[in-house]
Structure 1
Amino acid sequence: MSAKTIGFIGTGVMGSSMAANLLQAGYALNIYTRTKSKAKSLIELGATWKESVKELAEASDVMVTIVGYPSDVEEVYLGKDGLLEHAKPGAYLIDMTTSKPSLAQRIFQKAHMKNLHVLDAPVSGGDVGARNGTLAIMVGGETEAFQEMLPIFQVMGENIQLQGPAGSGQHTKMSNQITIASNMIGVCEAITYAQKAGLNPSKVLDSITTGAAGSWSLNNLAPRMIAGNYEPGFYIKHFIKDMKIAIESAQELGLTTPGLELSLSLYEKLASEGEENSGTQALIKFFQTK
């Protein structure tokens, strides 16, 4: 346990479990979210509610954010009542939102001028990884800040890598999302194929998850597809956001990403049909209705 007080902003599917793990590890936790009722379970566990980002910043040594979109990150960090304006000198700020690499770099540069330490540290592992404290955490920033924050990261994840300077965590997460995007199409096609062939898809999974086809999505999301469970471990609307960031970042690097673009088009179609708040595994509906 550390004497550092952590301020936590963002209590969605991932953030709630991550914050709960920090409380259970013995950290003092301040919490703020736009809708106080979403923080009720954390307050009951011992978190201290703060009425604003400003109030949270002034009372915390370390701030962890996992919010929805780059626009939210920009508001929380760079707004007139944001973290950079009100954080204590020498404080540490960790953005675990999947956001734009260029924004992470801009926040780092502005924070550096204020004697603040910033790390971009997006995560992968879904609701299961957040709940179990087994997330993959991809970090960009300075080595000394990373080492100082490592005990906090170790409460929330297992595979924790410093990838390089500011923005490197977000670039790594883009690689992660690009991989998942095409893989999800393959998982959906495989399950649908097994069903159309008259096989027991769960038994098919028993065979193919341990072979060359094995992946996190096949192990964790395919069973939900088979069960018709479309509850979000990760929202379709947030995956669409991530894919758009990845495409934009790839274009800035002079790369084409046809697999990613196909996946985005399928997910956007699902979202237009009212599935934006479903889990990403709901992509199988696109194939099963054909």
Structure 2
Amino acid sequence: MAELKSPTIGWIGTGVMGQSMAGRLLQAEYNVNVFTRTSAKAQELLELGAGWKNSVKSLAEESDVIITMVGYPSDVEEVYFGEDGLLQNAPEGTYIIDMTTSSPELAVKIDQEANKRSIHVLDAPVSGGDIGAKQGTLSIMVGGEESVFHDVRFLFDLLGSQNVLQGPAGSGQFTKMCNQIAIASNMMGVSESLVYAEAAGLDPNTVLESISGGAAGSWSLSNLTPRVIKGDLEPGFYVKHFIKDMKIAIESAEKMELDLPGLKLAKQLYDQISSDGYANSGTQALYKYYK
């Protein structure tokens, strides 16, 4: 659409990944408005040229495309609904993309309310961690109308390398749950493999060289295991947020009458390391459970 050739983009949420993603839009010379509850967290983006808005309401009123990437479903509710929320204050025709990993049911609720107001919305959670956010190689899983997806595809292509429309509203969130379910059990395997190698007296780096290119290969093995070996537990994705995602997936599975024992076990282990003080570490901190 003509008005989206050079849109003003509103960005809400400047966490580990959100800051890098918004930074990529600034580097591509888009006008970006930023709001976050703690203004200091937006300082780096402001230094890159972003404009500061002091409320969700003012950002909504002055942006053509709004992207949200906040922490929890409760944060999404707060940003989208209410007198000062996005849906109440964005003009007709605004495009709003929620890239938070949230509940499929909430994505549908947002879509239904947006339709009443002639606002275009997509749920578009991502995978790829801080590395993918910095490099623009995220996997973006999208739910919503096909025409809306194609209207903003040019933005997805700046942020990700695997950008797929999965179906109607909520489908992006359902797909992200599939992603998190697969990662949950994989992280147990990656951690157990590493502690086994150490117990056997092997060099973990040499073991990784052999197994990462074979049948055991995975993104987590290739990208997170080297961090563990170096003692680096800094978050590419927080333990506390992964626990949130697993909780959503378990609740969603139960509604579909599915029993996912691997996912439930992974959540138990992550709950344990969270209580041991690793809630703000990266998901590779699961290794500490085994040590």
Paired position in structure 2 for 1:221: 224
Q: Shift in Å at residue 26 of structure 1? A: 1.4
Question: Where in structure 2 are the equivalents of 1:196-215 lying within 5 Å?
Answer: 196-215=199-218
Paired position in structure 1 for 2:94: 91
**CA offsets 1:79-137 (integer angstroms, 9 cap, x no match):** 22100000011000000000000000000000001000000000000000000010000
TM-score (norm 1): 0.98
Paired position in structure 1 for 2:74: 71
Query: Are 2:273 and 1:262 equivalent residues in the alignment?
Result: no
Q: Shift in Å at residue 46 of structure 1? A: 0.5
Paired position in structure 2 for 1:274: 277
The one-letter amino acid of 1:179's match is: A
Question: Where in structure 2 are the equivalents of 1:132-211 lying within 5 Å?
Answer: 132-211=135-214
Paired position in structure 2 for 1:101: 104
The one-letter amino acid of 2:201's match is: G
Paired position in structure 1 for 2:84: 81
**CA offsets 1:195-246 (integer angstroms, 9 cap, x no match):** 0000000100000000000000000001111111000110000000000000
Q: Any stretches of 5+ residues in structure 1 without a counterpart?
A: none
Q: Secondary structure at the match of 1:166?
A: coil
User: RMSD of the alignment, in Å?
Assistant: 0.7
Distance in 2 (CA, whole Å) between partners of 1:238 and 1:79 is 25
- Equivalent of residue 110 in structure 1, options 93, 113, 120: 113
Please say if residues 15 and 66 of structure 1, whose CA atoms lie closer than 8 Å, have aligned partners that are also in contact.
Answer: yes
Paired position in structure 1 for 2:48: 45
Q: Secondary structure at the match of 1:211?
A: coil
Paired position in structure 1 for 2:132: 129
**CA offsets 1:41-78 (integer angstroms, 9 cap, x no match):** 10010000000000000000000000000000011011
**CA offsets 1:149-204 (integer angstroms, 9 cap, x no match):** 10011110010000000000000000000000000000000000000000000100
Distance in 2 (CA, whole Å) between partners of 1:207 and 1:234 is 26
- Work out the percentage of aligned pairs sharing the same amino acid: 62
The one-letter amino acid of 1:96's match is: M
Q: Any stretches of 5+ residues in structure 2 without a counterpart?
A: none
Q: Shift in Å at residue 3 of structure 1? A: 1.6
Distance in 2 (CA, whole Å) between partners of 1:79 and 1:204 is 53
Distance in 2 (CA, whole Å) between partners of 1:265 and 1:7 is 37
Paired position in structure 2 for 1:233: 236
Please say if residues 2 and 27 of structure 1, whose CA atoms lie closer than 8 Å, have aligned partners that are also in contact.
Answer: no
Q: Which runs of 4+ in 1 moved over 6 A?
A: none
Distance in 2 (CA, whole Å) between partners of 1:122 and 1:240 is 16
**How many residue pairs align between the two structures?**
288
- Equivalent of residue 285 in structure 1, options 282, 285, 288: 288
Q: Secondary structure at the match of 1:108?
A: helix
Query: Are 2:10 and 1:7 equivalent residues in the alignment?
Result: yes
Distance in 2 (CA, whole Å) between partners of 1:244 and 1:161 is 24
Please say if residues 177 and 243 of structure 1, whose CA atoms lie closer than 8 Å, have aligned partners that are also in contact.
Answer: yes
